[in-house]
Amino acid sequence: MQQNKYIKSVFIAVSLALSIPAAQAVQPGPYFGAGIGESDDEILNETESAFKFFGGVNLNENIGLELSYVDLGSFANDQLTQDGVAYEIIGYLPLDSNIDLFGRAGFYDWEVSDGFAYRTGTEPTFGFGLNVQMSQNLSVRGEYQIFTEIDGGDVEMYSASLSFHF
C-alpha cells in the first residue's frame, strides 16, 4: 500500500513538471543528488524505507556515469541492515526537450549486517526511470531499480530524487 503512495508521488511530480516551460534536456557535466523511496526484499518478504546519495557526470546528452551510496533499509525488526555502493552507466533517451527516459546498469558492492556478522558481495544492478529537467541546474527523477542476489535474493527499490547540475 505504501508503495502506491510513492508511485503516485512520482507521477504527481512528473505531471507538475510537464506544466513548466521547457528547460534543457540532459547536458554534459557533473551532478549530485539524493533520493528517497521504498525497498522490497524478496527473501524476507518485507518492505522498508530506503534512500540514496549519488554523484555523476554526463559524458554527453545520451551517456552518463554514476556512483551512489544506497541504503536499502533495516529489515527483520531493525535487526538486519542492507546498504552499499553502486557504480553504473546510464543511458538517456530524450522524450521531449526537458524529459528523458533512462536506463541504468552496473554493479552494487553490498553489505548485510545483523549486528554480529557482516556479509558482503558484488552483484549486478539495473533499472530504469524518468528524468525531468526543471531548470538548467535542477532535475527530478523517478525510478525503479533491482539489486540482484543480495545475500541470496533480489531487492527492488522505487525512488524519487532531486539532482543538482553544475
Which residues 6+ apart lie within 8 Å of 125 measured at CB? 86, 88, 104, 105, 106, 107, 108, 145, 146, 147, 148
pTM: 0.82
CATH number, domain with residue 13:
2.40.160.20
Mean pLDDT by 10 residues, the chain (166 residues): 54 52 70 97 94 97 96 91 96 92 97 90 96 93 95 93 95
pLDDT reported for residue 23: 46
Which among 157, 155, 126, 161 has a CA at the least distance from the CA of 140?
A: 161
Taking the C-alpha atoms of residue 115 and residue 17, their distance in angstroms, rounded to an integer, is 42
Q: Which 8-state DSSP code applies to residue 114?
A: -
Q: How many domains does the chain have?
A: 1
pLDDT reported for residue 96: 87
Chain segment 134-158, per-residue pLDDT in tens: 998 999 999 999 999 988 899 999 9
Question: How many angstroms separate the Cα of 141 from the Cα of each of 12, 69, 116, 118, 164?
Answer: 12, 17, 36, 32, 11
User: Residue 66 belongs to what domain range?
Assistant: 2-165
pLDDT reported for residue 21: 46
Taking the C-alpha atoms of residue 81 and residue 122, their distance in angstroms, rounded to an integer, is 16
